[in-house]
Amino acid sequence: MEAKPVPTLYEWMGGAVVIERLIGELYRRVPQDPLLAPVFAEMGPDHVRHVSAFIAEVFGGPKEYSQLLGGHPHMVKRHMGRSLTEVQRKRWIQVLLESADDVGVPSDPEFRSALVGYLEWGSRLAVLNSQPGAKVGPDQAMPRWGWGETKGPYQP
């Protein structure tokens, strides 16, 4: 008997439909949150679609973000100069995880461990890249996240 291939996080999560539902719910809540509302006050109408495409690609889905929107360097540039705080970072993760529960994102320990691992890594990177003087190189690879292994832009 041939072993079934291990699904990507993108597949396990439910694909683009679930990711867009999650990110849509997150950014539906953000304007009411006193800590996060100022950060996203100028959020454009394509924000949910762009963030959904980024997460989808990181989790093993289509490479739409890299092909159409500039990949990881573009995402890093979106955070530059915003001076994000640790308090805002923690609150963003909290709101995202509450949204995940409410929209039915898989809650099994293995998936949630991978999800939280990515959120911790990505949000900490966003805070670092948002500080004055941060620079972004054009050759930063798109991160790839999986079941306990990572392939971030700063790892060989």
Q: Which CATH number do you get for residue 54?
A: 1.10.490.10
Task: Show the domain range for 62.
Answer: 9-151
pLDDT at 50: 93
Please, which pLDDT band fits residue 45 given cuts at 50, 70 and 90?
A: confident
Whether 48 is in a domain gets the answer: yes
pLDDT one-digit tens code per residue, 8-44: 999 999 999 999 999 999 999 999 999 999 988 888 8
Q: How far is CA 38 from CA 82, 83, 85, in A?
A: 10, 12, 12
Whether 4 is in a domain gets the answer: no
pLDDT at 154: 47
Answer whether 0.85 is exceeded by the pTM.
yes
For 32-76, the DSSP string reads: G-TTTTTTTTT--TTHHHHHHHHHHHHTTS--HHHHHH-HHHHHH
Number of domains in the chain: 1
Whether 77 is in a domain gets the answer: yes
Tell me what percent of the residues of the chain surpass a pLDDT of 90. 63
